[in-house]
């Protein structure tokens, strides 16, 4: 009888132990509104920031976000400085060679932003002109693929938009949510800039990058993404941050 009681108590204690909990540290380059940026209090906000919180809740883990400059963000992941990168990272075959990716969580296209006085509607029609993009992004790669364009790289997309606004370059190529943020929603920019075209750059999706072979973290993240998508939380966040 004593043994039976002990076994029952042991089982009750096991049930009382909380589910496995892990804090996943996620890096982001918070210079890419409305996806990830900082507010007046230097807090990381945006679609991705909210998505990560919802994903953590659905996946049953804690999360900590860390602001990291884009040019070193993947090197830091490889070195184990953090567990994952959620920073509007497009899943590409080249990137898959150095890191693993979660299930896709956001479909994106590239957009060309120009001055309202510009008549061009394609990259090819911009030949002979200088176009800016954030270094290491698919937007910058798209510029470099077109002969006759002069690509100019920037550490932050906001600096490229500022140069376009001030007439120092002729256009900017970046992800369409970011293009809309600058060209349509920022009042001073909207008066002078426009989205000339949404570019056909293939099937492009954001994924969360993890260190190669880190199946534990990848599994938790994918579980969280599945929960977010099943409940339609991603659609709510898109409406909140992009109005669509």
Domain limits of the chain?
19-107+205-242, 110-199
> 139 exposed, middle or buried (CB, 10 Å; 0-12, 13-18, 19+)?
buried
Per-residue confidence (pLDDT) for residue 199, from 0 to 100: 87
- DSSP secondary structure string for all residues of 1-15: -HHHHHHHHHHHHHH
At what angle are helices 215-230 and 47-59 packed, to 10 degrees? 100
Residues with Cβ within 8 Å of residue 130, at least 6 apart in sequence: 149, 150, 151, 152, 169, 170, 171
Residue 192 sits at the vertex; the CA angle it makes with 191 and 195, to the nearest 5 degrees, is 100
User: Measured on CA atoms in the order 3, 4, 8, 9, is the torsion positive or negative?
Assistant: negative
- Local confidence pLDDT in tens for the 244 residues of the chain: 444 444 444 444 444 434 445 899 999 999 999 999 999 999 999 999 999 999 999 999 999 999 999 999 999 999 999 999 999 999 999 999 999 999 999 999 999 999 999 999 999 999 999 999 999 999 999 999 999 999 999 999 999 999 999 999 999 999 999 999 998 888 899 999 999 999 877 788 999 999 999 999 999 999 999 999 999 999 999 999 988 5
CATH superfamily of 110-199: Periplasmic binding protein-like II (3.40.190.10)
Residues with Cβ within 8 Å of residue 75, at least 6 apart in sequence: none
110-199 has the same fold as 19-107+205-242 = yes
CATH number given to 19-107+205-242: 3.40.190.10
pTM here is 0.78
* Closest to 177 (Cα-Cα) out of 47, 76, 11, 81: 47
What are 43's two structure tokens? 């807090």
> Own/partner pairs for 37-45, CB < 8 Å, 24+ apart?
38/67
Per-residue confidence (pLDDT) for residue 184, from 0 to 100: 84
The answer to whether 184 touches 156, Cβ cutoff 8 Å, is: no
């Amino acid at each position: 009888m004593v043994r039976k009681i002990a076994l029952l108590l042991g089982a009750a204690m096991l049930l009382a132990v909380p589910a496995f909990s892990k804090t996943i540290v996620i890096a982001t380059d918070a210079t890419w509104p409305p996806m990830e940026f900082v507010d007046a209090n230097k807090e990381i906000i945006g679609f991705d920031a909210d998505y990560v919180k919802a994903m953590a809740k659905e996946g049953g883990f804690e999360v900590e976000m860390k602001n990291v400059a884009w040019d070193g963000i993947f090197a830091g992941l490889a070195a184990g400085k953090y567990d994952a990168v959620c920073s509007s990272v497009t899943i590409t075959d080249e990137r898959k060679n150095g890191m693993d990716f979660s299930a896709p969580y956001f479909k994106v296209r590239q957009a060309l932003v120009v001055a309202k006085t510009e008549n061009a509607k394609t990259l090819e029609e911009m030949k002979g002109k200088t176009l800016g993009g954030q270094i290491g992004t698919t937007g910058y790669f798209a510029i470099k693929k077109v002969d006759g364009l002069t690509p100019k790289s920037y550490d932050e997309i906001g600096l490229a938009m500022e140069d376009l606004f001030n007439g120092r370059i002729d256009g900017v190529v970046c992800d369409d949510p970011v293009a809309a943020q600058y060209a349509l929603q920022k009042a001073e920019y909207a008066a002078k800039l426009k989205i000339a075209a949404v570019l056909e750059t293939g099937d492009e999706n954001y994924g969360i990058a993890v260190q190669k072979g880190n199946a534990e973290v990848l599994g938790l993240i994918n579980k969280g993404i599945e929960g977010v998508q099943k409940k339609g939380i991603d659609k709510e966040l898109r409406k909140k941050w992009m109005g669509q």
